[in-house]
Structure 1
Amino acid sequence: MRMLLNIRIPHEPFNTMVRDGTAGEVLARILEDAKPEAAYFTEQNGARGAVLVVNVDDASQIPAFAEPWFLKFNADCELRIAMLSADLMKSGLENLGTKWQ
């Protein structure tokens, strides 16, 4: 199942890691392990942030996606299920309207 992993990274310890040159290496290790379909880095509420598109086959995989961000950066993580338009078309949406009138 495709999920969006929304990450908010506080200034510390990330600032310290940028200064000592380890931030890029740690980010690369996390991304290599997660193998996201896509990774976008952006600002979130005045702080660093990222949005990763990851494939989760089983709920037991969620800690493997979130823990590196928690442990290395003290980041906040949110996971959301995401659908492509093809997924939505397979959802039976046309029948739900009549079922829930």
Structure 2
Amino acid sequence: MRLMLKFTIPVEKGNQAEMDGTLGRAITALVKDVKAEAAYFALEDGKRMGIVIFEETDQARMPMINEPLFAALNASIEIQPVLTADDLQRGL
């Protein structure tokens, strides 16, 4: 199933993580671990935000994906299934 993981990082923790190198390592590890199809980064409400699109078939891997973001960055995480335009057309 294709999933969209959206994370936001509190400003203070993000600043600290940028200074000590944790930010780059955590994001690089996430993108590599999930074999991201796409990854986008922006600001949301003044906080660092990222959206990572990936395929996952084993829901038991979700803690392995989420916990490093929680632990290293105090990230807030939202995950939801998403469709491509082709997926949507097949469903309609």
TM-score normalized by structure 2?
0.85
Q: Any conservation in 1 of the 2:36–2:54 contact (CA below 8 Å)?
A: yes
Q: C-alpha root-mean-square deviation of aligned residues, in Å?
A: 1.6
SS at match of 1:57: coil
Say yes or no: does 1:55 pair with 2:55. Answer: yes
Return structure 1 stretches of 4+ with deviation > 6 angstroms. none
- Could you give the per-residue CA deviations for residues 53-95 of structure 1, whole angstroms, max 9, x where no partner exists? 011112222222221111110000001111112212222x3xx
Q: % of aligned pairs identical?
A: 34
Aligned residue pairs, count: 92
In structure 1, list runs of 5 or more residues that go unmatched: 94-101
Counterpart of 1:23 in structure 2 is 23
Counterpart of 1:76 in structure 2 is 76
Taking a change above 3 Å as real, the CA distance of residues 26 and 59 of structure 1, as seen in their structure-2 partners, is closer
Q: Any conservation in 2 of the 1:12–1:73 contact (CA below 8 Å)?
A: no
State the Cα distance separating 1:30 from its structure 2 match.
2.7
Counterpart of 2:42 in structure 1 is 42
SS at match of 1:35: coil
In structure 2, list runs of 5 or more residues that go unmatched: none
Give the aligned residue type for 2:40.
Answer: Y
Counterpart of 1:96 in structure 2 is none
Give me the whole-angstrom Cα distance separating, in 2, the residues matched to 1:48 and 1:29: 17
* Structure label with greater radius of gyration: 1
TM-score normalized by structure 1?
0.79
SS at match of 1:86: helix
- Could you give the per-residue CA deviations for residues 20-62 of structure 1, whole angstroms, max 9, x where no partner exists? 3343233222322222111101101110000000111122222
